[in-house]
Structure 1
Amino acid sequence: MATDIQDQKVATDSNDDTVSITFTHKGVSHTFDFTTNATISDLSEEFENELSIPRSNQKIMISKVGLLKVPFKDPELLLTAIADKKITLTGSTAEEAGSMAKAAEHASRRATRRSRPMQKVSAYKTRDPKREQEESQYTFTTLRPLPYLPNPEKSLQFLQKLKDDAGIKAAMRKHKFTVPLLTEMNPIEHTQSNAEGTTRTLGLNRNQGEVIELRLRTDAYDGYRDYKTIRKTLCHELAHNVWGPHDRNFWDLCKQIEKEVATADWKSGGQTVGSEEYYEGGHSEEDEVHDHGGWTGGEFVLGTSSAGGSESTGQAPTQGMSRSEVLAKAAEERRKNATGQQEDTKKQEAGQYP
């Protein structure tokens, strides 16, 4: 039987033949009574029974003897030999040892995680296979800048940005538009000057969506025009995939596409390619038209055929033509336009125009 006491002492009862062992554990003094033939092994067993400290966890410090642990070097050491010594017991219960083991394991795992290189966390994106399939189908199949103009790679980036525009993609997917070729136009070939002023064409739709040309560059070829203005022109030309003349049907669809593009475009801020901001040249928008589809402006006027393909006034319509024929016709028209403009310039220099 074990009894707590405040002071350490040795008590021997000759009648009962017992020996009292007083020890300290966690700052608290305890006394256990044993028979005079009890050994250090009996004391260790009592520590386990009374204090729930497993024998493997026990460390017994005895003055002038030293530290004893299981298995003892002399397990038959009599307690009478150490009864007058200062004894200190250290060790954790099984429950305490389990908690410490868990804490140590947790600390080890945390240290391991901290020692690993930091991994970049990326946002999880939900794939929509149907949408991806539609976007790959309803798009601009080919992008083509004009290779003979300065920095064609910049124009290609601009065309790619239009193709990837969230609003444009949404509108093309909704209306099921597929355009085989999106290209740029040469500003000088689509700028007409006469006595009444200058007219600039912003875009052309050939053969109901076979080819769409957009005026990307400034007149001086020193930069690019405002992105949103060009995107709005693209909306206009996409509407010509369905309607040719600029009638109520056309304008209703054009405004609808513009609204859809603006709604789906979740991006904000300046539209850039590389490190350069697109900008509009220093000329008035009053002299600019999308494609002359029913508009007038100068002697050279682009009309719109009943089939919806834009054409030059007095030229053969493109309805029923193949893609290669449309491209060849477009090149021929550009050549004639450039020649006509040169002749007008010569006449002005000769004083034939007021």
Structure 2
Amino acid sequence: MSTDTQDPIILTITYHGTPHTFTLPPTATISDLSDEVADSLSIPASNQKFMISKLGLLKPPFKNPQLPLSSIADKKMSLMGSTVAEASSIEQAAFEASRRANRAARPVQKVKAYKSHDWKKQQEEAQYTFLDIRPLSYLPNPSRSLEYLKRLADDAGIKAAMRKHKFTVGLLTEMNPVEHTTSNHEGTSRTLGLNRNQGEVIELRLRTDAYDGYRDYKTIRKTLCHELAHNVFGPHDRNFWDLCKQIEKEVEGSDWRSGGRSLGDEEYYEGGEEVDDHGGWTGGEFVLGVGQPGSSTSQSSAGLSRREILARAAEERIKRLREQSRQGENAGNGSG
């Protein structure tokens, strides 16, 4: 009977949205994994970049080439990098472009600045992006939420800002409005976005409170700018707000389109809102569709119908109002 230390290490790495499973010896290191990726996927070590949850970005030559795989076997891993064939095609295309630029041409062609592809830009967009995009499958019409999230990820301004600031986000997803809404005698507070562990996960409040529509696109895009700034600064201090406003200006400046649009047959919620969140959230294990640890709404709503989801939302609001009312009565009795 083999012991745990003698069992092989089985790792699953996501590359271009496809999971790849590797089986290595129990004593294998991160360098051994790099060699296995080079052999199996034809991605040279010089092109490899591993995004590992809680560790961040690792690439050869590694700072700690003897890092045991057993210490990271339970962590989510994503791989970025060009295969030998892709790198060769890029190099060939660059060579052909250089050859054409140096070729003697007619005067009319010399004054025409034409560029078919910006290879550097494409490579940066492949690296500084959202590695995974997922809606909440148990809420109504998840395909519409996925379309909305993809529109944000493909927004020219967002892509330009992520390239400039070298932002890589592990997962872009939506949040359940029920789990991030608080009501009291002063009104209703809605959290519009959350950023966990400096870009490991970004959640955005896409839906209206009744789940029957989607919020204004530019408001959510502004929220995304706010959450991207939390990749660098957690607290809402002066450094954070300076970066946040800078990103907002960069995104707005790259927006060549004006006005909003509808998402499928559903109209966006009209009216902008100020971004409300609790700063950069650090720690905890993220599970899609589950609230923050310790919250009364942290249990999953998977499998519930729309009517059940709305009923749960109403129950949560009533529960909060009752608790706040009792607290107010206790405070009043104590002050007498």
TM range (shorter): 0.5 to 0.7
Distance 1:239 1:262 in 2: 15
Distance 1:204 1:347 in 2: 21
Deviations 1:299-333 (A, max 9, x none): xxxxxxxxxx32xxxxxx51xxxxxx531498252
Return 5+ residue gaps in structure 1 as ranges. 1-123, 294-308, 311-316, 319-324
How far is 1:270 from its partner? 2.2
How far is 1:349 from its partner? 5.8
From 152, 157, 174, give the equivalent of 1:184.
174
The equivalent of 1:79 in structure 2 is none
The equivalent of 2:277 in structure 1 is 291
Query: Which one-letter code corresponds to 2:270 in the other structure?
Result: E
From 290, 300, 307, give the equivalent of 1:331.
290
What is the root-mean-square deviation in Å for CA atoms of aligned residues? 2.8
Tell me the secondary structure at the aligned position of residue 230 of structure 1. helix
Deviations 1:174-224 (A, max 9, x none): 000000100000001100112332110000000111000000000011100
The equivalent of 2:254 in structure 1 is 264
The equivalent of 2:53 in structure 1 is none
The equivalent of 1:227 in structure 2 is 217
CA contact 2:206–2:220 (8 Å) conserved in 1: yes
Structure 1 position 208 matched with structure 2 position 198: yes
Q: What are the equivalent positions in structure 2 for 1:1-354 lying under 5 Å apart?
A: 126-280=116-270, 285=273, 289-293=275-279, 309-310=280-281, 317-318=282-283, 326-328=285-287, 331=290, 333=292, 336-338=295-297, 342=315, 345-346=318-319, 348=321, 352=326
Of Structure 1 and Structure 2, which has the larger fraction of its residues in strand? 1
Tell me the secondary structure at the aligned position of residue 177 of structure 1. coil
CA contact 1:190–1:337 (8 Å) conserved in 2: no
Q: Normalising by structure 2, what TM-score? A: 0.54
Distance 1:194 1:343 in 2: 12
Q: Normalising by structure 1, what TM-score? A: 0.51
How far is 1:292 from its partner? 2.7
How far is 1:275 from its partner? 4.8
User: Residues 192 and 157 from structure 1, CA distance in 2 versus in 1: closer, same or farther, beyond 3 angstroms?
Assistant: same
Structure having the higher Rg? 1
Return 5+ residue gaps in structure 2 as ranges. 1-113, 300-312, 330-336
Distance 1:348 1:233 in 2: 27
How far is 1:278 from its partner? 2.0
User: Residues 249 and 151 from structure 1, CA distance in 2 versus in 1: closer, same or farther, beyond 3 angstroms?
Assistant: same
Equivalent residue pairs, number: 200
Distance 1:144 1:188 in 2: 18
User: Residues 275 and 196 from structure 1, CA distance in 2 versus in 1: closer, same or farther, beyond 3 angstroms?
Assistant: closer
